[in-house]
Amino acid sequence: MSTEHTGGWITSRLDQLLTDRGMTLTELAERVGVSVVNLSVFKNGRARAVRFSTLAALCRELQCSPGDLLDYQPAVADEKR
């Protein structure tokens, strides 16, 4: 099985938003009602899925939009098109 993704990757900007707002992951987890472990998985780009309710709670607490939390990184094959 190939590890190459032809569609690109979705990455998290949570770490940068936390830094910008002077907030810790633990503080955000408490405010949102999600475990620190689950937020860490999201922050480090290992999450396979995110509930819209969690995304909305993150946006509420960070005063941002979903596009501020997520970024799209095209795969190398996409960049050559």
pLDDT tens, position by position, 25-66: 999 999 999 999 999 999 999 999 999 999 999 999 999 999
Domains and CATH numbers, the chain: 9-79 (1.10.260.40)
| Alpha carbon 69 to chain centroid, angstroms | 5
Question: Which phi and psi (to 5°) does residue 9 adopt?
Answer: -130, 150
Cα separation, 73 vs 75, whole angstroms: 7
pLDDT given for residue 78 in this prediction: 46
Say what the pTM is: 0.82
* Cβ contact 56:31 at 8 Å: no
pLDDT at 7 over 90: no
